[in-house]
Every structure is written in structure tokens, then in C-alpha cells.
Chains A and B, each alone.
Chain A
Amino acid sequence: MRAYLKIAQKSFRNNLVFRAEYFAALLNTIVTILVNLAIWRAIYEEEGGLDNLQFSLIVTYVILALALFQIFTMDEYVIEKKIKSGLITSDLLKPLSFRLHLFSFHFGALLYRIVLLLIPTLLLYSLVYRVLPPFSIEMFLCFLLSVILGYFVMYSLNFIVWLSAFWFYKTFSLVTIKDTAVLVLSGAVIPLWFMPQQLVHFIKLTPFDTIFFIPISIYLGQIPMDQLLFSLLRQVIWITVLGLIGHVLWKLATRRLIVQGG
């Protein structure tokens, strides 16, 4: 256990090495949110509803969704790079579980993003815009739990895509397809309540809305008490399903590992 924490710590430090990259990422987060807010402002201005609660709701939604989207971003090509360079051997030569090793690496990066990207961004925007507080304290705690579950859904889904590198060697297109699907279907950019009913019915059959839409809806108090448990349960179910698929794929992958080069 200590070893995995140490890996997370080193991964955190590894991210701190790149100063320019950090400021670019911070700028990227701030600007992305700014652009999206400007679009929503234009829409609401047209209808003269800038002072509405509805507008505050959307502002809060957009800031939270995009901030979470930024910190849920992971290095998608870790496995691919390791396979291509043959460096996967040095991981397999450690008395560690490769999957936990990989997760620790991403966990360290996640902490880095929370501390150095999420917190400054949220502070900045809560000063500039009227961001709604959580619906209630209970809902806030549920929101935190749901965010953690959402991260695991995202991670399990990503892991499956990354593992495909064992078969395809190049995963760029698959990663792009996954990213687009997540961006559109998870409610990261547009809240699902603006989407056509039929599409929403479809999305409810997929894991996508459990990544961002459920946690944020809980924060905003948009999910009735009687559906709250079911929403959290859906997240858990998707973690289990995607985790199992990842497990089977991993077992197959190690069997067909070819170490490239020398």
C-alpha cells in the first residue's frame, strides 16, 4: 500500500517539473469555462433572463462540469507509450500489481490537478460569477461521493480504451471517439435537460451521464430524494461492469504481450 502511495507522490512531483505546461493548463481551464459561459450568457440575454435563478443554475453547472472535466483528464497514452517503447517491462519487473501501479500514477496526477487546477479555477470563478452553493449539506456530501464514483466510471472506461493498445499499438482514433462520446453524452458541455427526450433515454442506458451529469445534478438538488439512491447505484453498477470488462481484457493482454525492441 505504501508503495502505491509513493508512486502517487512521485507522479505528483513529476507533474510539478513542467512549469510552462502548468500555466498553459490553468489558462486552458479558465478560458474554456469563460467561452462556454459567454455562449450561455448570450442565449439568456436574448431571452432577457440574466437575473433568473435559471441562469445562475446554468452558470454553476457549466463551471462545475468543465472544472471536473479538466481534472478527470488523464494521460491517455501511458500504456501505449509503455508498449511502444518496451518500458512496460520495468513495470512488470516490480513486485506490484500493474493495474494498481497505473492507477496510483493517475491518482498522483489527479491530486495535482485538484490542488493546482481545480481549486484556483473554482476560487476565481466564484469571485467573478454568482455560483450557487450546494443545495444542502447532505446533498454536498452525496455530491462528493458521486464525484468519486464518477471518476471511477471514467477511469474504468479509459482503462478499457488504453488496453486496446495491446492489440492495435496505436489508439489515437479510439481515444478520440471515446473523448467525443464523453464530451457530448456525459453532459460535460450541455446539461442533459436541454437534450431531446429520446436521446436522454438512450444516454440513460450508457455509463456516460454517470460521470458528470449525476454528480452535478446532485449538487444542484436536481435529483429528487427517491431517485438519489438509484443514481448512485447506477454509478456503482457501471464501475463494476466496466471494471470486469477491463479485468478480462487485462488477463488477455498480458498473455499476448510482445515487448518491442532489443
Chain B
Amino acid sequence: MLIQVEQLVKDYQLNKNQKGFFHAIKNLLMPEYQKKRAVNGISFSISEGEMVGFIGPNGAGKSTTVKILSGVLKPTSGKVIVNGMDPFRNRKKYVSQIGVVFGQRTQLWWDLPAEDTFDLLKTIYKIPDATFKKNMDMFSEMLDLHEFLHQPVRQLSLGQRMRADIAAAMIHEPAILFFDEPTIGLDIVAKERIREFIRSMNQEKGITMLFTTHDMQDIEKTCERMIVIDRGDIVCDSKVDEIRQFSDSERKLTVKFGRQYDRIELPGAQMIKEAGNTKTFQFRTNEVKIPELIAELMSRYEVLDLTVQETDIESIIKQIYEGGAPAYESVS
């Protein structure tokens, strides 16, 4: 296993802010602290060459986990071993084997042209001239870096800056790459481009990647496996394909009835929502065929209108966030 995380816990100490003027002054003189648990004893492992998506709502603990994995933060407790090393203890040695991209901030020198940062990175990581040139050529071709390498970074667009940042994180050919929301704030074209680049890097170079995002599309288009994290706990860890298969077979049926029924029985479908005479059912196409279900429905009840909807992965994730998808557990 390349990355091994066991019972990882991270607590932050937060200043307990209370409302009101006097409370604010009291807080200044006698601060009160409270502990907030960002990561609550999670365990997982990732093997070499895997591409794993880390998904979860804001404040779920994704970024904290990435920061611990990259050796920047010290975990409160638990064990983290990446590539045979403790990231925090062996920071200086460890970080030369990884690359990290933060979508929200840049490691490029803000006032200098981007090429200056690359020049500096070349010296920092002691990259041989030939390797450096080969990688720069490859990045220039795949990410069109040459268009803006000589411009000061502060004048770049977000998409350009992100491309340069990703190249900067990979110039030293790391074995593992961490992406913390690499597509945040980008337009669809820029997002697609970055996804494609990441995917090809994983496939061609076999770089192990961990990818945090809010954007389900990022995961669907790049990752094989996804870990859903919420409020510091892992709520789901499975293959993206499995979830996709599940979502492919799941349908929602919304029916408007002609009159009030006290009890509606429909074999193979469960009622999940009820609003007056409009009721929503959930069923799976591999358990019951749509024509049969509708025929059954029409023969038993008076129906005014009906629609059948597909469920996308996003809504399954939403269900997982909202207290564990009961239907989903049957799959894994």
C-alpha cells in the first residue's frame, strides 16, 4: 500500500465567539476555547497507481486530510504512512516525492513571470537539465504554457494560473499527487482540460493521485474510486463504476392520482415522497420493468399524470450526505 491511514484524528482549537459587545470584550480578555474535530478517526488505504476522488460538502475534513497527508499539518492522533514515511516527521525528505496543487492558492511567485518559479523549482528539486526540458516541453504542449510563461503571474487568468500551478507541482516527477479542489472557480472548458490532463498523467505515468472536490463531474470523469467524507467520517468508499451502475438502474416515478387513495401498493417500488395526490416512488429497472410497473399502476388506480426520472450520481451523493442512503447500502 502506498498510502495508509489508520484512525486519523485532527482537532482544531477554536476561539469560542459569543455574540454581543460585552461578550466580545470578555472574549478578548479571557478567551474561551473549544475543540472542533475536523477529522474523526478515518482509515483508508490507496495502492500505487490508483486515482481516488475525495468528495464531501464544505467543512467535511477533505482539505485537512490532504494537508496531513502532505506533511504540512501534524495529526492529533492516528497513523499516516505514505511511501513508507511519516509525512510530518520526515517532511523535508518526504515532500520531494509528492506534488500538491491547491486550487485556492498558488505557489507561483506572484509578481514575477511564471517561468521564474519553474527556474527556481528546477534548482530546489535538483532536476537535471534534460529532464526539466523534457517535462517543460510536455507541459507546454499539453497545457499551452508557452502562451503565458513570460507574463507576471498576477496578470494571468485563473485558468492559466491553475495550469501553471499544476505543471509546477509535477515538474519534479512526483510519485504521488494531491489535488485540493483543482477545478474550483474554473469555466467548463478549463475544467475539462484539466481533467483530461490529470487523467492522462495517471494513465501514462502511473502517478498515484488523490483528488478532493465538490464537483461530482470531476470524480466521474477522472477517478476509479471515490471516498465520500462528511463531518470528519468516511461515509462511503467504493468504485465509481458501482455507484454509476446503481444510479443507472435507479428511477423515480412521480404520479398524480385522480383521487385520494389511503394506501397505494405497487410491487417493486417504494413510496419516498407524498404531497396530496402527487406521490413519488423509487424503483430499480433491474428489479421491475417500467412498462409492467406502469401497466400495474394504471390497472389499479386512477392516474392523471406521471413522469419517470433518472437518478444521477449527484443525487445519490446528496442522499449520502443527508444521513446515509438506505437504498445504497444494499449495493456494496
Contacts and interface: CB of A to CB of B under 8 A. Distances in A.
A257 B73 contact: yes
B74 to A, nearest CB: 6
Nearest to B67: A259
A204 interface: no
B274 to A, nearest CB: 40
Contacts of B119: 6, 10
Contacts of B103: 262
Interface residues of B, number: 34
B112 to A, nearest CB: 6
Nearest to A89: B72
Contacts of A94: 95, 124
B152 interface: yes
Interface string A231-262: 00000000000000000000000110111011
Interface string A1-22: 0110011001001100110000
A2 B125 CA distance: 10
Interface in B56-99: 63, 67, 70-74, 91-93, 95-96, 98
Given A10-B116, A17-B112, A89-B105, A258 B12 contact: yes
B215 to A, nearest CB: 14
B92 A97 contact: yes
B19 to A, nearest CB: 21
Given A17-B112, A89-B105, A257 B72 contact: yes
Given A2-B123, A6-B119, A94-B124, A262 B72 contact: no
B95 A87 contact: no
Contacts of A86: 102, 104-105
Contacts of B12: 258
A197 interface: no
Contacts of B67: 89, 259
Contacts of B112: 10, 13-14, 17
Nearest to A11: B109
Contacts of A255: 74
A123 interface: no
A2 B91 CA distance: 20
A14 B63 contact: no
- Most B CB contacts (10 A, CB to CB) among A2, A92, A259, A261 go to A92
A199 B123 CA distance: 49
A262 B124 contact: no
Contacts of B249: none
Contacts of A258: 12, 73
A198 interface: no
A227 interface: no
Interface string A146-187: 000000000000000000000000000000000000000000
Interface of A: 2-3, 6-7, 10, 13-14, 17-18, 85-87, 89-90, 92-97, 254-255, 257-259, 261-262
21 contacts: A2-B123, A6-B119, A10-B109, A13-B112, A13-B116, A86-B104, A87-B105, A89-B67, A89-B70, A89-B102, A90-B106, A92-B95, A93-B71, A93-B98, A94-B124, A95-B125, A96-B124, A254-B74, A257-B73, A258-B73, A262-B181
